[in-house]
Amino acid sequence: MWKYVVGFVAFSALVIWVLSKGGDIDMSGEKHGVDVAPAASAASN
Amino acid sequence: MATASAVGKPMTKEEKKVIFASSLGTVFEWYDFYLYGTLAVIIGNQFFSALDPASRTIFSLLAFAAGFIVRPFGALVFGRLGDMIGRKYTFLVTILIMGLSTFIVGLLPNYASIGLAAPVILIGLRMLQGLALGGEYGGAATYVAEHAPHGKRGAFTSWIQTTATLGLFLSLLVILGTRTAMGEAAFAEWGWRIPFLVSVILLGVSVWIRLSMNESPAFKKMKEEGKTSKAPLTESFGQWKNLKIVILALVGLTMGQAVVWYTGQFYALFFLTGALKVDGATANIMIAISLIIGTPFFIVFGTLSDKIGRKPIIMAGCLIAALTYFPLFKALTEAANPDLAAAQAKNKVVVVADPERCSFQFNPTGTAKFTSSCDIAKQVLSAGSVSYDNEAAPTGTVAQIKIGDKVIPGFESKGMSPDDVKKADADFKKAISTALKEAGYPAKADPEKMNKPLIVAILTLLVIYVTMVYGPIAAMLVEMFPTRIRYTSMSLPYHIGNGWFGGLLPATGLAIVAQTGNMYNGLWYPIIFASITFVVGMLFVKETKDVDIYAKD
């Protein structure tokens, strides 16, 4: 079990490090539409 | 066969291999889930941006169908196969379809190269993925549970649930690593393909391991005795005694589990960045830390469910979540953006509108157009995550927004030219933004004023609720159905619960917030469904931990 714990901690540390370097990324999961940039206006006709 | 009690004995090498092989497929599932979320805008630009608005609407609906509608059908198609020809070959097929369709996306020419064929093929691949995905989880859960010794099914299957976090982390590493290595421009141009292509490694390893696995002992025995179902769909859903359990599994278990899960992992992130205006990078790190702390609890609650039962843990998770969401999310506001909490208390925002001109802004595909002054006002405020009260105005009047002492008139966009709409929209937003600033509403959460340890503690608690409802769920679903129809019967309620009730949470939550104006009111969606699951589950769902899953074979 300790191997899993060490592996998980190391993997997690790597993820936090990568996120801290350039972590502005969408983590909100799968989108269910067709998103294109720029976003459509809120008051489009 | 693994029927003898094995409580206290360590896992054998073969058992570890079974869990690893099954979990790898679900890691894949989650990796793919996050790829499409993270790269949605880039994929949209590559495949859909050149389409006219009407075609884009059609493709949005098709993409929506691929994400939601198709999965339960995949559960039926592959569940049926799994119950007829076996678990091993079926979930070998599902991972092959899923993996190859992910890999092919990485090779697919974009709209600029092959025109309309590009989005059509992409949607086709998404449909295939959705179908395969519908068969993957049920296969993994059934396969692991049928290999697990009696008294350890909760512990064994709970490992599968940890793959949601691992899949997210893996996608983050690959995407961020690629993006950093090649730069934003090259990544948006062609580098986005690499994470899809990299999935072939995961596919290769998964197929190689799964090929070396044996068929589940329960299915093997049943096949040898000639007892396999000839018509699993008819047996599962055409006979009331089984259909009743399928419905109970959905309403009394997976529906509540799904909304608690979506709230803990996705709605919390959306709330932090959208409602509380915490910058994305900070919010991501705090969510990741809470996931790291919370993820081991999948194993804790899975193992605990072997001792005290699945039902008490899942029901407690639903109940505690329903009772504490409002105070926890309010505490999140105080901890993440105290200036916003103070401004909300001091200067109320009020939308004064003719109720006849206000609609329920449910817009899951992002393609609905709102033209009435009430809808536009509410949409602008909810997009800016401003909480507001509603005040009825006389029939026929144009809506207006009051911020403190200031009154901002709205506008009706119907009949206006696109240029006029654009200008009126920009002026309207600017007036609202200026008034909000004057009323003390912060444009961003101030990092200096954030209580980060408290935010992480609250987020971790939300993840622990997820682990309570999700950790024991696979074992419980498996134990509710006999071997001959298990794959079919457990897959459908899982995917309807998670795909439909869970997947619709963000869009529905947002629509409730836009409709009522209160930024916490989106929480009513998970609270209501978790409460229904608690009541139905407590009254009608039986404990299963001591069930002999071979008894009815």
pLDDT in tens, B170-179: 998 999 999 8
How far apart (Å, rounded) are the C-alpha atoms in residues B455 and B474? 30
Q: Say yes or no for a CB contact (<8 Å) between A25 and B63.
A: no
pLDDT category at A23 given cuts 50, 70, 90 is low
Residue closest to B94 by CA, chosen among B24, B192, B193 = B24
Could you tell me if B166 and B30 are in contact, meaning their C-beta atoms sit under 8 angstroms apart? yes
Mean pLDDT: which of B7-11, B96-100, B208-212, B330-334 is highest? B330-334
**Do residues A4 and B26 make contact, with C-beta atoms less than 8 angstroms apart?**
no
CA B260 to chain centre: 10
pLDDT at B492: 92
pLDDT of residue B236: 87
Determine whether the interchain pair B180/A24 forms a contact, defined as Cβ–Cβ distance below 8 Å.
no
Q: Which two tokens stand for residue B48?
A: 């859909």
Query: Mean pLDDT, chain B, as a whole number?
Result: 89
Residues in chain B with CB shorter than 8 Å from the CB of A45 are 369, 371, 413-414, 416, 418, 421
> Mean pLDDT over residues B98-117, rounded?
92
**pLDDT (0 to 100) of residue B508:** 87
Q: What is the pTM of this model?
A: 0.88
Q: What is the pLDDT of residue A42?
A: 38
- End-to-end CA distance of chain A: give it in Å, rounded: 59
pLDDT tens readout for residues B503-529: 888 888 888 888 888 889 999 999 999
Handedness of CA B62, B67, B69, B71 (dihedral sign): positive
pLDDT given at position A43:
38
In b/e form, how buried is each residue of A7-43, taking b as 16+ CB within 10 angstroms?
Answer: ebeebbeebbebbeeebebbbbbbbbbbbbeeeebbb
What is the per-residue burial (b if ≥16 Cβ within 10 Å, else e) of B165-177?
bbbbbbbbbbbbb
Q: Which residues of B touch A31 (CB under 8 A)?
A: 36-37, 40, 63, 67
Cis peptide before B149 (omega within 30 of 0): no
What pLDDT, on the 0 to 100 scale, is given for residue B64?
74
What is the average pLDDT across B397-413? Answer: 89
Looking at residue B2, its pLDDT comes to: 45
Tokens representing B205 are 């390893």
Q: Are B277 and B436 in contact (CB under 8 A)?
A: no
Taking the CA of residue B346 and the nearest CA in chain A, the distance in Å comes to 27
Q: What is the tens place of the pLDDT at every residue in B424-472?
A: 889 999 999 999 888 888 989 999 999 999 999 999 999 999 999 999 9
Residue B167 has pLDDT above 80, yes or no: yes
User: What is the rounded average pLDDT of the residues B383-402?
Assistant: 86
Distance (Å, whole) CA B493 – CA B51: 36
- How far, in Å, are B102, B300, B355, B374 from residue B379 at the CA level? 35, 42, 15, 8
- Cβ count near B457 (within 10 Å): 14
The residues that bridge with B524 in the sheet, in sequence order, are none
Closest partner CB to B421 (pick from A25, A30, A43): A43
A23 touches chain B (CB under 8 A): yes
Spell out the alpha helix ranges (H) of B296-337: 296-308, 310-336
DSSP labels, B360-409: ----TTS-----SHHHHHHHHHHHTT---EEEE--TTPPPEEEETTEEEE
Distance from CA of A3 to the nearest CA of B (A): 13
Query: Which range has the worst mean pLDDT, A31-40, B38-47, B413-422?
Result: A31-40
Residue in B38, B423, B432 to test binding to A, most A beta-carbons within 10 Å: B38
Q: Tokens 């989880």 sit at which residue?
A: B137
Rounded to an integer, the average pLDDT of B49-59 is: 79
List the domains of chain B with CATH numbers: 14-225 (1.20.1250.20), 229-345+453-545 (1.20.1250.20), 348-438 (3.40.30)
Residue with the larger pLDDT of the pair B385 and B234: B234
- Which residues 6+ apart lie within 8 Å of B293 measured at CB? B456, B460, B463
